[in-house]
A and B are shown apart, each in its own frame.
Chain A
Amino acid sequence: MLNRRNLLRGLATGMGATSILGAPHAFASRPNFSIKTGGAKRVIFFLQNQGFAPETCIPEGMTESGSLDGVTLPEPIQALDPYKDRMHIITGLHGRHTSPSHSAYFGALGGYRGGIGVAPGGATIDHVISGLLPETIMPHLRLGMDALENMISRPTLATLSASDAGKPLYMHSNPVNLYRLLFGGIATGDVKRRYEARSRVFDSIESLAGQGVDRLPAGERERYSSYVNGFRDINGLRERLHDVSDHLTNFAPEYDERFTQPEFETDWHDALLDIGIASLKAGLTSVLTIGSGRGEIFGSWKGLGITEQGHNLGHMKQPDNPIWVKIRQYNCDMLVRLMQALESMPEGDGTMMDNTLIVYTSNNADKQHTNGANWPFILLGNCSGAFRTGQYTRLTSSRPLNDLYATMLHAIGAPHDHFNVSRAQASQYRSVAGPIEELLA
């Protein structure tokens, strides 16, 4: 199983990540490297479903790579205009091998073949990074935004992130449950009493669940252990949160009617984002993955006045489409809120944003029924000076999105030649060893 300890141990001893990550096409590494994850860094992945049309992110008139200085951003992403100097728009990466079509699911962040019902083929980049950055209480927080009824009926869903082959990671979609989980310990009075009573009961459950595990046959023991470990994770997290409860008090979002009486799905989307921001500011997590549309082919944004919902949204052309302009603008407003929140937090000689990278893209390349030949990305922030910013880069060598993920590993100080690309696959995917130089500072 992939965890920070054995991953670091493996990397430090030069074993390479292939065997440790356990993915069938786990990322191959340079023979000699060292871990330089350094101080606090954080990476935020924001994936909007149904594709990201390049026309909606390339500044008008820009047909080649160049500076963003003085250009006008397209209407859907105009909210990012004040951040152009901290921005890098990238087109020309491909994800053909991820079989996106309706959604590449785990393949979008894994860089391998995905698709509906296809189990993850290995660890995804967000989870790998969470294991490489300095440890936090909750190394990887995942949020999923969807239609309100779906978030209620399926408060957890796994479609985008994975810790290993066949090991999906769940997103949280019910902000009430998530708030209680993260901030229940800082309540007072009756709420506190209930929290403690609940803690005792859950400790009992863990104890009961763990009895007799050693009497199970080997394969069954492993499968059942994931159930027991689930309680260990829940209870362990509660204890760790309890230990920092004074600190958390300063960051807990306001628990208001958006949580308890949402009128539209966007109330819960905003509440989830607030929890994500609070978790980053409080240092609870250093990797946040947001799935708007939860990696699937549905989704709803009635709170923006959009009456169409579900899969039909995916069958519309995005450029100049008022519906998609609204959705993209809403995404960008969220990105701005994230950046403003991180800029407000001092860190070292600057702010948290100085050490942050935000990765905005889609789980489905450029559009529905795509072959994944062009997969646009927007990067915000430079992650402690690692990334070049204020730039539009049109890559012409058709490298796979895996190479961008390898570049991120390089940027956080854990350089790898490839991410989830074997030697045999490298030429086929047109993957080039090492980071994408055009993207680095």
Chain B
Amino acid sequence: MNKTQLRAILTLIPLCCPTALAAGDGPEAAFGSEIVPFLNQHCMDCHSADAAEGEIVLEGVSRVTSDNVELWKRVWEQVALRQMPPRGTDDPPEPLARLKFADEITRQIESAMVDAGGFDRHHHPSKGNHIDHDLLFGPLPKDLSPTSTPARLYRVHPMEHLTRLSSLINQDPPYDPAKPGVRSQGDFINPNKEGEIKVYYGLDRVIGWVGGTAAYAASITGFPPALSLEDAHGLRSYPNLYTVNGAEATQIASTAEDILRFMAFGPDAEPYQFAASVKDIDKKYKHESLRGLAQSLFYGLEPKRPLTPVYDLTQIEQPGDEDLARAVRFLFTELTCRRPTEDETQRYTAILRTAMTDLGRDDGIVLGLTPIFLDRAALFRSELAQAGRPDSHGRVMLQDAELALAINAAFSYLRPGDDLLDAAANGKLRTRADVEREVDRILADDSIRKPRMLQFFREYFDYDRAGKICKDTAALQAAGGDTRTDQHYRAMWNMTASTDRLIELILAEDRDVLKELLTTNRIVSSQKEDAPYLGSYLSDKRPKKDPKAKRGPNRSVTIAPYNSPKGTAIHVRVARVVKPNKTNRVLTTVDESQRKGILTHPVWLVAHSDAMDNHAIHRGRWIRERLLGDAVPDVPITVDAMLPDEPNATLRHRMRVTKEEYCWKCHQKMDPLGLPFEMYNHAGLYRTTELKQPVITSGEIIDSGDPELDGPVKDALEMIDRLAASERVEQVFVRHAFRFWMGRNETIDDAPVLQDAWHAYRDSGGSMKALVRSLMLSDAWLYRRVDREALAGTR
């Protein structure tokens, strides 16, 4: 059968399936008009019943249904990512035709899966690169629609939620320009040395305790984030990914009661636990049997927590309605970041009054104020654009309170200052110029903390996952990790905080931000603790015990710790649990022959490793997605994606299996980009040998989309240098910033916004502030697409 005959067969397919020829705009019609011609022209040579390349047969395939959806998902990804038709084909599809075809498939899958669990995968951040980079940054296609973002509810970020709750019970210091790295009000809440993120009650009032630090850690109580977040690499803050489930709501209610009790009454402790000094407390209360219990904590006499209108209620025997309303207004504003309406105030005041009647003043305060923690506005930020008239494209610009909260949320986790709330209340947040004024003001003011900026870089680089990578003890020690396994994880969490600080330092300089992050020779370090990880692996020879030392060496192989230059003092943000941790670190430099930028920091390397070894595939995938703007399709469910278990072979050798033709189509996008990082082992140590042989560090940039980038590289350092100098890499970085601040993947209509943002970044000498400012002044950020008629219909 020849090609022409095959095309004829496929063209006849709709005749076998009468619905496929139905007139109108439905999926059936679109299948016939959009999908079948593309398949006829580009797919049938290889995927007919006779050819069946890769055992994929598209001849006779029906439109998308829930039964064949897996096949169509593969077709979508293969075409969108330019894997099919194969390169070098005679008649490749135009990029725009490819995009239309891929978009139509996802529309059809959405439609087919409406009653079968839904389909939203194409909106996931990991699918952001499924639109051809050259379409976005090349000449603008004709007939683009003015862009906007769908009206939506933004579930608050777990860290945002936790920061707000923390501000109710802790009085963090204001920003100190003399110590810019020290945690201040509104900053990110870091994990502790064990990787736990928690907010504690009365930490700053504790003056002593019975027992050691472990006993203290067991006796102090706190709460972790209540909301969930995808536990995965990559951007993860999209609003469409999250809601609040019943279990989370129950947990929030429970935590709310504890918080309210603490706000109202302070630490839950016996009178003997309060004293000016620990020595004033009777010895009988210091018995060791109390270790680890709440009764073993001793508190200073003066309250340290914020004394708020909730506390004020406890100071009045019979609080009046205005007293209750004051507490309601305060709590509502802190938790929702906006002032309550009069109706909302009355409603919550009535609930509070009833609870106090039921349970008495003290317990009534706790129960009666709990509902505010569960108000929709405390958990979901609204971007519904319900005020204002839609333009001819169905777009409405955000305004007033919604716009104030959107501007605030782009940077901050705490409620906006009164100036922004007043602007919203007084009709001064309705134009692009209004937004420009407020964004410029916030960007210029370091005292307004901007944890969202850091959050972006954590999600972009993924270095914050280093402490979460569970290491096999023997494999870790063989790589030069600490023989005390717990110390390894502590080192990772500590180095994560150090990398946070380096990023903030580079952001403060705001010059060539991406290039600097990729190539800087600077590092923030706890010199003694980090030295082994910044050092080199030498051999598997067990080091000798120093006869003068009390204990044996804490490494079971021979390494050369890095002796970093003296450097200058710098502060970092570290979690406080037992006592104020030392915030001092050193800003120093790495050995430039061994390391360069964040991709060579131990935290990035470990974050992209696994329990036993390096993860060259993850590392390569990171380069492919975050720097080259390409992606790899989901692994087909039929693939057993395991490397052979050969403990005495190098990872490079074990990865030979990925070169089989079926695997290599995808793995060529990742493996040659990840293998240059074999110059480090899976604990992040630099190495020149592997299994006693010289380590092979070569790799290659293949089919990057920029011919200047393509070609072999001798190691990771050469590859990083080449990538950091690339305009394309800069543009891909801008695409990721777009996704983070828009909370969605880009579309073809966003091309002008992306190009403007890239120019803003480039023209400003690589300023992150200029980039974010450009994004926030764009239509994509300001406008929401609404469908008033559809909403009216549902009511």
A216 at the interface (CB under 8 A from B): yes
Offer 12 A-B interface pairs, CB within 8 angstroms, sorted by A. A19-B115, A21-B117, A22-B115, A102-B611, A170-B247, A208-B347, A215-B386, A215-B795, A226-B243, A227-B249, A229-B246, A230-B245
Distance in Å: Cβ of A106 to nearest Cβ of chain B:
13
> What 0/1 readout, one digit per residue, does chain A (25-45) give for beta carbons within 8 Å of chain B?
110000000000000000000
Among A59-67, A191-199, A276-284, the stretch in contact with B: A191-199
Q: Cβ of A218: which chain B residues have Cβ within 8 Å of it?
A: 790, 794
Instruction: Name the residue on B nearest A231 (C-beta).
Output: B249
B637 at the interface (CB under 8 A from A): yes
**Per-residue interface assignment for chain A, residues 402 to 438, with 1 indicating a CB less than 8 Å from any chain B CB and 0 otherwise:** 0000000000000000000010110010000000000
Q: Is A247 an interface residue (CB 8 A)?
A: no
Which positions in B face A, CB cutoff 8 Å?
66-67, 69-70, 113, 115-118, 120, 150-153, 196, 198, 223-224, 230-232, 240, 242-251, 253-254, 347, 351, 354-355, 358-359, 363, 367-368, 370-371, 374-376, 379-380, 384, 386, 470, 472-474, 485, 611-612, 637-638, 640-642, 645, 786-787, 790-791, 794-795
Chain B CB within 8 A of A243 CB: no
The answer to whether A201 touches B786 (Cβ under 8 A) is no
Indicate whether A4 reaches chain B with its CB closer than 8 angstroms. Answer: no
State in angstroms the CA–CA spacing of A102 and B371 once bound together.
40
From A19, A155, A201, give the contact of B66 (CB < 8 A). Answer: A19
Whether B246 pairs with A230 at a CB distance below 8 angstroms is: yes
A154 within 8 A of B: yes
Report the Cα distance A218→B118, complex, angstroms: 13
Give how many A-B residue pairs fall within 8 Å (CB-CB).
173
**Considering only CB atoms, which chain A residue lies closest to B150 in the complex?**
A217
Name the segment of A109-117, A329-337, A355-363 touching the other chain.
A109-117
A113 vs B232: C-alpha distance when bound (angstroms): 16
Confirm or deny: A122 has a beta carbon within 8 angstroms of a beta carbon on chain B: yes
Partner of B116, one of A22, A153, A154: A22
- Note all chain B residues with C-beta closer than 8 A to A153: 196, 198, 223-224
Assess A99 versus B243: contact at CB under 8 Å? Given A153-B198, A204-B371.
no
Flag if A214 contacts B794 (CB, 8 Å).
yes
Given contacts A22-B117, A219-B152, A220-B151, 12 further A-B pairs with CB under 8 A are A18-B66, A21-B117, A25-B70, A102-B470, A208-B347, A209-B375, A215-B791, A227-B380, A233-B246, A234-B249, A234-B250, A425-B638
Contact between A201 and B153, CB atoms less than 8 A apart: no
Q: Which of A18, A22, A96, A226 contacts B245 (CB 8 A)?
A: A226
Q: A197-B359, A200-B358 are in contact. Are A112 and B367 (CB under 8 A)?
A: no
Hey, which chain B residues are within 8 Å of A122, CB to CB? 117
Q: Chain A nearest CB: distance from B384 CB in Å?
A: 7
A117, A197, A224, A234: which contacts B243 (Cβ < 8 A)? A224
Minimum C-beta distance from A200 to chain B (A)? 7
> Which single member of A156, A166, A208, A212 contacts B117 (CB below 8 Å)?
A166
Q: B224 to chain A: which residues have CB within 8 Å?
A: 153-154
B-side contacts of A74, CB under 8 Å: none
Are A223 and B245 closer than 8 Å at their CB atoms?
A: no
B97 to chain A, nearest CB (A): 28
Given A164-B117, A428-B638, A315 contacting B380 (CB threshold 8 A): no
Assess the B470–A311 pair: CB atoms within 8 A: yes
Flag whether A24 is at the interface (Cβ < 8 A): yes
Bound CA span A215–B152, Å: 11
Tell me if A205 counts as interface (CB < 8 A to partner B).
yes
**A99 to chain B: which residues have CB within 8 Å?**
640-641
A177 close to chain B: CB less than 8 A: yes
- Judge if A23 is at the interface, Cβ distance under 8 Å: yes
Q: A177-B250, A194-B363 are in contact. Are A230 and B150 (CB under 8 A)?
A: no
Docked complex Cα distance between A424 and B231 (Å) = 31
Instruction: Answer whether A217 and B787 are a contact pair too, CB < 8 Å, given A122-B117, A170-B247.
Output: yes
Asked if A160 is at the interface (CB within 8 A of a chain B CB), the reply is no
Bound together, the chains give a CA A297 to CA B471 distance in angstroms of 11
Chain A residues whose CB sits within 8 angstroms of the CB of B637 once the complex forms: 25, 97, 112-113, 425
In A181-198, the 8 Å CB interface with B consists of 181, 193-194, 196-198
Chain A hits for B611, CB < 8 A: 102, 311, 369
Please state if B790 and A201 are interface contacts (CB–CB under 8 Å): no
- For residue B115, which residues in chain A have a CB less than 8 angstroms away from its CB? 19, 22
Quick one: given A25-B637, A226-B243, are A117 and B384 in contact (CB under 8 Å)?
no
**Contacting pair A18 B70 (CB below 8 A):** no
Inter-subunit contact A201/B371 (CB<8 Å): yes
Q: Which residues of A sit under 8 angstroms from B638, Cβ to Cβ?
A: 97, 425, 428
Judge if A389 is at the interface, Cβ distance under 8 Å. Answer: no
**Residues on the B chain within 8 Å of A193, using CB:** 358-359
Interfacial residues of chain A within 333-388, with CB under 8 A of chain B in the complex: 369, 371
Inter-chain contact A223/B367, CB cutoff 8 Å: no
CA distance A23 to B70 in the complex (A): 11
Residues of chain B contacted by A226 (CB below 8 angstroms): 243-245
Q: 9 closest pairs, A vs B, by CB?
A: A230-B246, A22-B117, A117-B232, A165-B117, A197-B358, A156-B247, A170-B247, A22-B116, A153-B224
How far, in Å, is A303 (CB) from chain B's closest CB?
16
A312 interface residue (CB < 8 Å to B): yes
8 A Cβ contacts from A206-263 to B: 208-209, 212, 214-221, 223-224, 226-227, 229-231, 233-234
A358 → chain B closest CB, angstroms: 25
Q: Once the chains are docked, how many angstroms separate the CA of A117 from the CA of B229?
A: 10
**Residues in chain B near residue A156, CB distance under 8 A:** 247-248, 250-251
Please indicate the chain B residues that have their CB under 8 angstroms from the CB of A208 in the complex.
347, 371, 375-376
- Complex alpha-carbon distance, A345 and B363, angstroms: 41
Q: Within the assembled complex, what's the spacing in Å between the Cα atoms of A215 and B387?
A: 12
Enumerate chain B residues within 8 angstroms of A220, measured Cβ to Cβ. Answer: 151-153, 384
Smallest Cβ-Cβ distance to A197: which chain B residue: B358
> What is the minimal beta-carbon distance from A199 to any residue of chain B, in angstroms?
10
Contacts known (A193-B359, A209-B374, A371-B642); A198 close to B367, Cβ less than 8 A: yes
Inside 8 A of B374's CB, which chain A residues have their CB? 205, 209
B368 touches A201 (CB 8 A): yes
Cα distance, A359 to B120, chains bound together (Å): 34
The answer to whether B791 and A369 touch across the interface, beta carbons within 8 angstroms, is no
Task: Collect the chain A residues with CB atoms within 8 Å of residue B151's CB.
Answer: 217, 220
Residues A216 and B153 in contact in the complex (CB < 8 Å), given A19-B115, A230-B249:
yes
- When the two chains form the complex, which single residue of B253, B379, B795 contacts A214, counting CB atoms closer than 8 Å? B795
Q: Is the CB of B645 within 8 A of A369?
A: yes
Bound-state Cα–Cα, A181 to B253, Å: 13
Contact check, A227 vs B66: say whether CB atoms are below 8 A apart: no
- Give the Cβ gap from A400 to chain B, nearest Cβ, in Å: 13
Report chain A residues within 8 Å CB of B223.
Answer: 153
Q: How far is the CB of A115 from chain B (nearest CB, A)?
A: 10
Task: From B251, B363, B470, B640, name the one whose CB has the most chain A CB atoms within 10 angstroms.
Answer: B470
Nearest opposing residue in chain B for A311, CB measure: B470
- Residue of B whose beta carbon sits closest to that of A261: B293
Q: Which residues of B contact A97 (CB under 8 A)?
A: 637-638, 640
A297: chain B residues at CB < 8 Å are: 470
Beta-carbon contact of B376 and A209 below 8 Å = yes
What is the CA–CA distance of A216 and B641 in the complex, to the nearest angstrom? 42
* Docked complex Cα distance between A136 and B150 (Å): 41
- For the complex, give the distance between the alpha carbons of A19 and B355 in Å: 47
Chain B: CB-nearest residue to A155:
B251
Residues of B within 8 A of A155 (CB): 251
Cβ contacts under 8 Å, A369 to chain B: 611-612, 645
Q: Which residues of A contact B232 (CB under 8 A)?
A: 117
**How distant is B347 from chain A, measured CB to nearest CB, in Å?**
7
Residues of B within 8 A of A22 (CB): 113, 115-118
Q: When chains A and B are docked, how far (Å) is the Cα of A22 from the Cα of B119?
A: 10
Chain A CB count within 10 A is highest, among B116, B379, B791, for B116
Among B250, B368, B640, max chain A CB count under 10 A is at B250
- Residue of A at shortest CB range from B221? A152
A218–B795 Cα distance when bound, in Å, is 12
With a cutoff of 8 Å between Cβ atoms, the chain B residues found around residue A219 in the complex are 150, 152, 240
B196 touches A223 (CB 8 A): no
